[in-house]
Structure 1
Amino acid sequence: FQKPTTIQRYVIPSIRQQDDLIVCTQSGSGKTAAFLLPIISNLLEYHEDELFTRDDPPSPLCLIVSATPDRALQIKCEARKFAFQTAVISCSAVGDHDMYVVSDQLQKGCHILSATIGHLKDMVEKGRISLKKVKYFVLDEADRMLDAGVELDIRKLEDLGLVPKDSRFTSIFSTTFSNEVQQLAKHYLRANYVFLDVSTLDGIDTDIAQTIEEVSSSKKKDRLFQLIKQICKSERCLIFVETKRRADYLGALLSQKHFMSTTVHGDRTQRQRQEVVQQFANGKYPILVATSDVVRGLNLPQIDYVINYDFPDTSDFDT
């Protein structure tokens, strides 16, 4: 970043002064740095002694719960980058990783833990992680987690030993402020929390040209191939579809048409998803067919074209 984004200008000071907050923001707003940078700074300033202690079971000082494994891993990587050459250690706990391997990593030290709710709950219930020392608690993409039906698992964290809300600092990030998100905020945030609606300040990027074409179902594939021939020559093109089956189907058709393309969706393993994203990033496959739940929130390389093959779900539109 050459200068702070809108969300960073507002969120960084709030977390630095240890406010509870809920933030509505779009993807690509600089959200990850907005919460990681002040949390790392606070850990180094206010909790330095605790950075050099080891607990059994290990307990992180900062817990970040994400909607998807890919997002959790991305946050861990960003945290390691921002905390480079400091005492702050970042780890992840996601579904595709062996619990015993993760436990060994945590035993070596973990101050910032980025996790998915299911894997986190399993490890806490089995005594491999403690939540008794969590000072900073972040719910990332809270609306996505609610859509996935994991609200009860999130609420159960307090029954499993998560520090009470009056003794920790909590940040909730969401693309919407639905009734469900509001109820979650009331449950997890202190009464004097800060509400930031950064999405209305950022608005839509004026550098992006957006067009809508009405195409009958029988002609969608042909029109897609026409568009790719016209615009996606050596440029990177991301094609969103609604289902995993359609992603595989379109990927196979594109390969038959000799387009350099690959696919990614939720049925791929974590390793496979990482390989696909890397191949897209380095240009080996400049066309990526994906479901939005997998790539949403990831830092992808400069993308020249985005095609919504299926009309996006309302909650995804313009995010």
Structure 2
Amino acid sequence: MACAQTGSGKIAALLLPILSQIYTEGPGEALKVVKENGRYGRHKQYPISLVLAPTRELAVQIYEEARKFSYQSRVHPCVVYGGADIGQQIRDLERGCRLLVATPGCLVDMMERGKIGLDFCKYLVLDEADRMLDMGFEPQMRRIVEQDTMPPKGVHHTMMFSATFPKEIQMLTREFLDEYIFLAVGRVGSTSENITQKVVWVEESDKRSFLLDLLNATGKDSLTLVFVETKKGTDSLENFLYLEGYACTSIHGDWSQRDREEALHQFRSGKSPILVVTAVAARAKREVPSWLENMAYEHHYKGSSRGRSKSRFSGGFGARDYGQSSGSSNSGFSSNHGSSSCSGGGAHGSNRGFGGGGYGGFYNSDGFG
């Protein structure tokens, strides 16, 4: 069980030892079963290593790193997630899969289709386990680990990575891991040293002018993430910034996976240096200070500051936001849980809270890329 701050190298730490073991030990019994099944027209794959990630974007990021680390080797990483071409994902699997990266819902879907078996899985990684719990993936996680053909504890190695260590994660750790070692890098749950945060009280009517002041202060070419509460607010703010002369794009739950990836590409390349997005995976908080802390640390910098240089975070906070966050247990962000299966759309919720349809957070990074 490892808790480490964002940007501390968790992806490399989980992938490199696994790949080293696969290189040393080879596919073993799994390859024999795959070849035997192939004689009868069945193309079920038995990965040796499985990495679970809460979101499609994180799954793709881990997969891309795995491709780099396994370059010119016989290990063929694969990734499965919702919103993409399921036929292409199945074809990729059928070419052989020793290391699989997946979102929980899509993995369960592939297992039900008979495309993936976990009978010979030796290494299980739960990345950002706290986010998976927040997003409601515990039933899928339990099914994958405890109810299907996954070898029992002690036969396979389970590794959990998390930036926080709440009670729910502690309980899950005791159930999933056998005589585990707890490793902490930095201060558990603390903010990154590379991010400066600032919370500003802004009247509802002044939010957009305040945002323009922030953008002008950093320059139009500086890569910037702007978080809003609703999908409608995302489209509205993107249109507003476009009319103000800013090159921007946006992402929300109604977008297809192809459109999401294209928007991210435009953002990373600097073609559209401002990205307006709805926040993902809210955690309700009653008290304003702890709610703000979780908003800033868990939802904004954690998913956006991996391996970046000195960055800044600002938040516009108004009277309506205060009333909703302090008086309701449902304060938070719009929640997009991602696809519950490979072919379906996301499960969407709407928890009223920070932003109120205007912009809800501001993240600027001089080194995002």
Fold match, TM over 0.5?
Answer: yes
Tell me if the contact between 1:237 and 1:304 (Cα under 8 Å) persists in the aligned partners.
Answer: no
Identify the residue that residue 108 of structure 2 maps to in structure 1. 121
> Which deviations, in whole Å up to 9, do the C-alpha atoms of 1:250-293 show, x marking residues without a partner?
21211121211111233322211111111111111111112343
RMSD, aligned CA: 2.8
> Which deviations, in whole Å up to 9, do the C-alpha atoms of 1:103-125 show, x marking residues without a partner?
22212110110001111101112
Q: Provide the C-alpha distance between the structure 2 equivalents of 1:188 and 1:49, rounded to a whole number of angstroms.
A: 25
Asked if 1:290 is matched to 2:277, the reply is: yes
Q: Provide the C-alpha distance between the structure 2 equivalents of 1:305 and 1:258, rounded to a whole number of angstroms.
A: 23
**Counterparts in 2 of 1:80-95, with a 5 A limit?**
80-95=67-82
- Aligned residue among 241, 251, 254 for 2:241: 254
Q: Provide the C-alpha distance between the structure 1 equivalents of 2:143 and 2:30, rounded to a whole number of angstroms.
A: 27
Asked if 1:229 is matched to 2:208, the reply is: no
- Aligned residue among 261, 264, 269 for 2:251: 264
Identify the residue that residue 187 of structure 2 maps to in structure 1. 200
SS in 2 for 1:288: strand
Identify the residue that residue 4 of structure 1 maps to in structure 2. none
Q: 1:266 to 1:306 in 2, by over 3 A?
A: farther
Q: 1:275 to 1:309 in 2, by over 3 A?
A: farther
Q: Provide the C-alpha distance between the structure 1 equivalents of 2:332 and 2:15, rounded to a whole number of angstroms.
A: 29
Identify the residue that residue 40 of structure 2 maps to in structure 1. none
Amino acid at match of 1:126: R
Tell me if the contact between 2:196 and 2:313 (Cα under 8 Å) persists in the aligned partners.
Answer: no
> Which deviations, in whole Å up to 9, do the C-alpha atoms of 1:35-57 show, x marking residues without a partner?
01111111111335568656141
Identify the residue that residue 241 of structure 1 maps to in structure 2. 228
Q: TM-score, normalised by structure 2?
A: 0.72
Q: Provide the C-alpha distance between the structure 2 equivalents of 1:263 and 1:121, rounded to a whole number of angstroms.
A: 30
Q: Percent identity?
A: 37
Asked if 1:178 is matched to 2:166, the reply is: yes
Tell me if the contact between 1:59 and 1:110 (Cα under 8 Å) persists in the aligned partners.
Answer: yes
Deviation at 1:134, TM superposition (A): 0.5
Asked if 1:30 is matched to 2:9, the reply is: yes
Q: Which has the higher strand share?
A: 2
Q: Provide the C-alpha distance between the structure 1 equivalents of 2:314 and 2:232, rounded to a whole number of angstroms.
A: 17
Q: Provide the C-alpha distance between the structure 1 equivalents of 2:46 and 2:192, rounded to a whole number of angstroms.
A: 40
Q: Provide the C-alpha distance between the structure 2 equivalents of 1:245 and 1:301, rounded to a whole number of angstroms.
A: 30
SS in 2 for 1:193: coil
Identify the residue that residue 125 of structure 2 maps to in structure 1. 138
Deviation at 1:210, TM superposition (A): 3.2
Q: Provide the C-alpha distance between the structure 2 equivalents of 1:249 and 1:29, rounded to a whole number of angstroms.
A: 36
Q: 1:24 to 1:300 in 2, by over 3 A?
A: closer
Tell me if the contact between 1:67 and 1:116 (Cα under 8 Å) persists in the aligned partners.
Answer: yes
Unaligned runs of at least 5 residues, structure 1: 1-21
Asked if 1:280 is matched to 2:267, the reply is: yes
Tell me if the contact between 1:54 and 1:109 (Cα under 8 Å) persists in the aligned partners.
Answer: no
> Which deviations, in whole Å up to 9, do the C-alpha atoms of 1:164-200 show, x marking residues without a partner?
122100111122211211111111101x201122240
SS in 1 for 2:23: helix
Deviation at 1:309, TM superposition (A): 4.7
Q: 1:206 to 1:143 in 2, by over 3 A?
A: closer
Q: Provide the C-alpha distance between the structure 1 equivalents of 2:176 and 2:189, rounded to a whole number of angstroms.
A: 26
Q: 1:67 to 1:292 in 2, by over 3 A?
A: same
Amino acid at match of 1:173: F
Identify the residue that residue 23 of structure 2 maps to in structure 1. 44
Q: Provide the C-alpha distance between the structure 2 equivalents of 1:277 and 1:38, rounded to a whole number of angstroms.
A: 30
